[in-house]
Amino acid sequence: EVQLVESGEGLVQPGGSLRLSCAASGFTFSSYAMHWVRQAPGKGLEYVSAISSNGGSTYYANSVKGRFTISRDNSKNTVYLQMGSLRAEDMAVYYCARDGWMGFDVWGQGTMVTVSS
Amino acid sequence: EIVMTQSPATLSVSPGERATLSCRASQSVNSNLAWYQQKPGQAPRLLIYVASTRATGIPARFSGSGSGTEFTLTISSLQSEDFAVYYCQQYNNWPRSFGQGTKLEIK
């Protein structure tokens, strides 16, 4: 079964750090670009970050640039999102998604990041 | 960055009726446009890709059209399970930007 499973959910204080992981299974992970998308409570989808299939290219939304780092380990079929200098506005459900070259055809279940003192 | 704009923000339609949702891109995305459905507490689900091709398992009442900068998602006869939020997304360029969503609610 093709699947993405996020982990790393947590409560963190403003200014703190957190690392999210997204483990892939059921497909050739190294062939696909991967993305992180977040959704604040009651809000729409916000595109956060992306990484190419070999990790050579990355993208960050302006709202997270300089604070978040995306990476991947193709030997472990996992993509990561290292989040630092967290703010209240970063509080959201974070989804990882597979770029199927026809849109995001596989999504994880989402993992909640809460930023609060 | 390509900006995607959806309209309307909220659409109230009765079950059995047709719903038409619009999406506009700030520049041409060719036919590299996808539609997603999201229900509360769930991840988005891919409905349509290449502007008009239904994803696996998507009922025929869902159809997409358009190219370039103007796109439409039509749901021909609304079922109770179709009331949700719908997002368009362009995947012609990075970043793969989303529209702000259209909430389809029961009238």
- Give the mean pLDDT of B36-51: 97
Residues B74-94: tens digit of each pLDDT: 999 999 999 999 999 999 998
Q: Do A47 and B101 touch (CB under 8 A)?
A: no
- Give the mean pLDDT of A96-115: 96
Within chain A, residue ranges assigned H as helices are none
- Residues in A 77-116 with any Cβ partner in B closer than 8 A: 95, 99-105, 107-110
Distances (CA, A) of A87 to A36, A95, A115, B47, B95: 17, 18, 6, 33, 23
pLDDT of residue A72 exceeding 90, the answer is: yes
CA distance A3 to chain B (A): 13
Q: What is the pLDDT of residue A101?
A: 86
Q: What is the pLDDT of residue A85?
A: 97
First and final CA of chain A: distance in angstroms?
Answer: 39
